[in-house]
Amino acid sequence: MRISRRELTTVAGLVLAFVLPLTVTLLLTGSEAATSKPQAKPALPPMHRLVLPINTDDPTTMRALISTSLNLPKYYQERNEAFTIEVVAYNAGVHMLRADTSPVKDMLRVLRAVNSNIRFVVCEATKLGMERQEGRPLTLIDNVDLVPSGPGRIIELQEAGWSYIRS
């Protein structure tokens, strides 16, 4: 059986119509992209993030917050999972982090020594209100950061995926 020139031209046209775009795509993207299988990246251990608000000057509530801050990280360390805590103090809870009125100052030193993944922040608006009311500047314990709004900071952390435990 003999192939006519017309049939040969048709076959050559079809081959070019399918092979040419494939060849151009491989040249532009690299041949590895077409042949290599996606490699699974090793899963990172989950990062657990917890915000603990304190808005009362009740020493029992403060001790409960510190107890949570000591025990919960141990739970995740046993599971080899990362864990971080941010304590947000506002309203009367600022007393927990004041150098002159904190009933748990010594416990906070222990907490910091045991858990380096903890951050303490104070609502600047509350601090300024206390300073106006007392007529003097307030001194906070060491390594406490100020945020413009304590409740605002809690909302930011929640929106970023942090868990929240109400005190």
pLDDT per residue, tens digit, the chain (167 aa), is 677 777 767 777 776 677 767 777 777 776 555 555 667 776 677 789 999 999 999 999 999 999 999 999 889 989 999 999 999 999 999 999 999 999 999 999 999 998 888 999 999 999 999 999 999 999 999 999 999 999 999 999 999 999 988 76
**Residue 97 and residue 88: Cα distance in Å, rounded?**
10
List strand residue ranges (DSSP E) for the chain, in order: 47-54, 82-89, 118-123, 144-147, 163-164
∠ CA(101), CA(105), CA(106), 5° rounding?
145
pLDDT of residue 165: 80
Contact 123, 147 (CB under 8 A): yes
Closest C-alpha among 124, 114, 115, 162 to residue 144: 124
